[in-house]
């Protein structure tokens, strides 16, 4: 017996019966993003490892534990992208897109890769929709993208969501907060998990990301960043919140929302769903005003969000579109060719058409049409070819009529 090769751990096939739901979500997302002025950008699936070490951050869990990094035959260290933002920033600099008029608005839909512990709804190849805006520092854009995210989720019929917002400060004000946090965490180090003990040294902000209840309990006593924001960050945050109010969006300020990525400045936000359980964020994002400049590009602020498609798809209803296809039954060699020509004709008219190539009699072809759920059956025999009239059967009503080649598409289109 030959050994069967299975899908790689943590990956999943998206099968034909579920792909309709994916296509729905992707279509709606594209339509909405384009209404807000975004255009699609597609960058390679792998990049230089350095891009993520520098962008996502060397102290982030993603870079330390979760990257798919490999050396190619040319000796380069490459990484399958674990997130999208660094790739977009790289592409903007590479292609000098920053020379175009600002703000730049891009969206992307596609796979990301993280060597994460596989669990329900979490895969090592997962999919995100992602949007980014560059060259706009007005907090009105922060509110606009939260409003767009909210609209997207409503259109997708995602229910029971909550929007959390925070400011993580900037390079002027965050260092003093981190210093304070480190000295606080240092004192209670023994009550933290091994991971968090390391974070006390590397990046104490990360302790807030820990999923362990014991660590969260300890972190509840830590100072909140809100008290450490500089004037600029505080103004930005207050305006952002006032614009959210202006849109009539309900939100909660969550001072512990730092998100697991190093590059955020000022605004961070998440939309969570009570239907998801423990890993409850459907969508999250924030501002990253220093990233472009840190990558050797011009000093242009950025902001964006990413939404997990697997998670969204797990909480939305799906109304399957009914397939209205015609099943072509043929009897004999000449009718087979006539049938092949007729199917081509019908497909050109925009009608889905299936034709059977296995030799079968009329009865077994009819029962197969039934089993497949054909809306119509078209019968082509020698008699039909001679007359130029074909038997067309409506499988719902059972009515069978003789029709000419030209009449068939009109009848089918009129009925659907
Ligand atoms: Zn600041
Ligand atoms: Zn911990």
pLDDT in tens, 236-258: 999 999 999 999 999 999 988 88
Separation of CA 89 and ligand 1 centre (Å): 22
| Ligand number with the minimum distance to the CA of 173 | 1
Separation of CA 194 and ligand 2 centre (Å): 7
Q: What is the pLDDT of residues 208-217, one digit of tens each?
A: 888 899 999 9
Separation of CA 240 and ligand 1 centre (Å): 14
77-80 and 46-48 as β-strands: parallel, antiparallel, unpaired?
antiparallel
Dihedral sign computed on CA atoms, order 39, 299, 138, 145: positive
Cα-based distances in Å from 173 to 167, 180, 226, 231, 233? 11, 12, 10, 9, 8
| Ligand number with the minimum distance to the CA of 177 | 1
| Ligand number with the minimum distance to the CA of 206 | 2
| Ligand number with the minimum distance to the CA of 191 | 2
Separation of CA 220 and ligand 2 centre (Å): 13
How far apart are alpha carbons 271 and 286 in whole angstroms?
12
Q: Which residues contact 270 (CB under 8 A, 6 or more apart)?
A: 163, 164, 254, 257, 259, 281, 283, 284
Distance of CA 365 to the CA centre of its chain: 41
The helix or strand, by DSSP H or E, that contains position 140, with its residue range, turns out to be: helix 139-155
Q: What is the pLDDT of residues 42-97, one digit of tens each?
A: 999 999 999 999 888 887 778 888 999 999 999 999 999 999 999 999 999 999 99
Separation of CA 177 and ligand 1 centre (Å): 10
Residue 279 scores a pLDDT above 80: no
Q: What is the pLDDT of residues 98-130, one digit of tens each?
A: 999 999 999 999 999 999 888 877 899 999 999
What would the 3-class secondary structure string for 53-116 be? HHHCCCCCHHHHHCCEEEECCCCCEEEECCCCHHHHHHHHHHCCHHHCCCCEEEEEEEEEECCC
How far apart are alpha carbons 377 and 353 in whole angstroms?
10
End-to-end CA distance of the chain: 49
Which pair of structure tokens corresponds to residue 263? Answer: 């590059």
Among 291-305, 358-372, 379-393, the minimum mean pLDDT is found in: 358-372
| Ligand number with the minimum distance to the CA of 267 | 1
Q: What is the mean pLDDT of residues 313-326?
A: 82
| Ligand number with the minimum distance to the CA of 236 | 1
CB 189 within 8 A of CB 197: yes
| Ligand number with the minimum distance to the CA of 194 | 2
| Ligand number with the minimum distance to the CA of 185 | 2
Q: What is the pLDDT of residues 353-382, one digit of tens each?
A: 999 888 778 899 999 999 999 999 999 999
Separation of CA 363 and ligand 1 centre (Å): 77
How far apart are alpha carbons 209 and 372 in whole angstroms?
50
Closest CA to 52 of 82, 23, 74: 82
Separation of CA 253 and ligand 1 centre (Å): 17
How far apart are alpha carbons 233 and 236 in whole angstroms?
5
Cα-based distances in Å from 124 to 18, 155, 260? 19, 28, 17
Separation of CA 231 and ligand 1 centre (Å): 7
What's the pTM value of the predicted model, to 2 decimals?
0.89
Cα-based distances in Å from 248 to 32, 37, 304, 343, 384? 19, 22, 21, 53, 65
Residue 278 scores a pLDDT above 70: no
Separation of CA 53 and ligand 2 centre (Å): 22
How far apart are alpha carbons 208 and 180 in whole angstroms?
14
Among 308-317, 319-328, 337-346, 402-411, the minimum mean pLDDT is found in: 319-328
Separation of CA 293 and ligand 1 centre (Å): 17
Closest CA to 28 of 156, 184, 154: 156
Going by pLDDT thresholds of 50, 70 and 90, the confidence category of residue 161 is very high
Separation of CA 186 and ligand 2 centre (Å): 13
| Ligand number with the minimum distance to the CA of 172 | 1
Separation of CA 168 and ligand 1 centre (Å): 8
Dihedral sign computed on CA atoms, order 351, 357, 359, 364: negative
Separation of CA 216 and ligand 2 centre (Å): 7
| Ligand number with the minimum distance to the CA of 192 | 2
CB 378 within 8 A of CB 366: no
Separation of CA 170 and ligand 1 centre (Å): 4
- Helix 16-35 vs helix 139-155: angle between axes, to the nearest 10 degrees? 150
How far apart are alpha carbons 235 and 208 in whole angstroms?
24
CB 81 within 8 A of CB 49: no
CB 115 within 8 A of CB 62: no
How far apart are alpha carbons 350 and 179 in whole angstroms?
66
Query: Percentage of the chain with pLDDT > 90?
Result: 78
């Amino acid at each position: 017996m030959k050994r069967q090769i299975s899908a790689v751990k943590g990956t999943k096939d998206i099968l034909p019966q579920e792909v309709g739901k994916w296509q729905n979500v992707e279509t709606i997302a594209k339509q909405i993003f384009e209404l807000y002025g975004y255009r699609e950008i597609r960058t390679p699936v792998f990049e230089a490892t350095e891009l993520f070490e520098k962008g996502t951050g060397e102290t982030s869990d993603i870079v330390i534990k979760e990257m798919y990094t490999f050396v190619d035959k040319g000796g380069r260290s490459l990484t399958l992208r674990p997130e999208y933002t660094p790739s977009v920033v790289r592409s903007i600099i590479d292609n000098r897109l920053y020379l175009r008029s600002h703000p730049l608005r891009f969206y992307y839909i596609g796979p990301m890769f993280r060597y994460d512990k596989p669990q329900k709804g979490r895969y090592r190849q997962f999919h995100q929709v992602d949007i980014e805006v560059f060259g706009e520092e007005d907090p009105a854009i922060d509110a606009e993208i939260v409003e767009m995210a909210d609209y997207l989720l409503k259109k997708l019929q995602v229910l029971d969501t909550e929007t959390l917002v925070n400011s993580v400060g900037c390079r002027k004000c965050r260092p003093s907060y981190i210093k304070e946090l480190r000295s606080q965490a240092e004192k209670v180090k023994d009550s933290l998990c091994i991971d968090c003990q390391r974070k006390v040294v590397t990046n104490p902000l990360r302790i807030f990301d820990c999923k362990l209840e014991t660590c969260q309990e300890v972190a509840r006593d830590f100072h909140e960043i809100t008290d450490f924001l500089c004037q600029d960050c505080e103004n930005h945050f207050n305006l952002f919140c006032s614009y959210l109010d202006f849109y009539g969006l309900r939100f909660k300020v969550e001072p512990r929302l730092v998100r697991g990525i190093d590059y955020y400045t000022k605004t961070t936000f998440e939309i969570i769903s009570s239907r998801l359980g423990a890993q409850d964020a459907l969508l999250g994002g924030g501002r990253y005003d220093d990233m472009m400049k840190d990558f050797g590009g011009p000093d242009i602020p950025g902001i964006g969000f990413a939404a997990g498609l697997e998670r969204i798809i797990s909480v939305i209803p799906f109304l399957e579109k009914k397939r209205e296809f015609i099943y072509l039954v043929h009897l004999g060699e000449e009718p087979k060719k006539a049938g092949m020509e007729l199917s081509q004709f019908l497909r050109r008219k925009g009608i889905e058409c299936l034709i059977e190539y296995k030799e079968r009699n009329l009865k077994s072809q009819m029962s197969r049409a039934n089993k497949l759920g054909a809306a119509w059956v078209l019968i082509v025999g020698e008699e039909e070819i001679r007359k130029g009239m074909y038997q067309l059967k409506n499988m719902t009503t059972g009515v069978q009529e003789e029709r000419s080649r030209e009449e068939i598409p009109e009848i089918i289109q009129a009925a659907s």
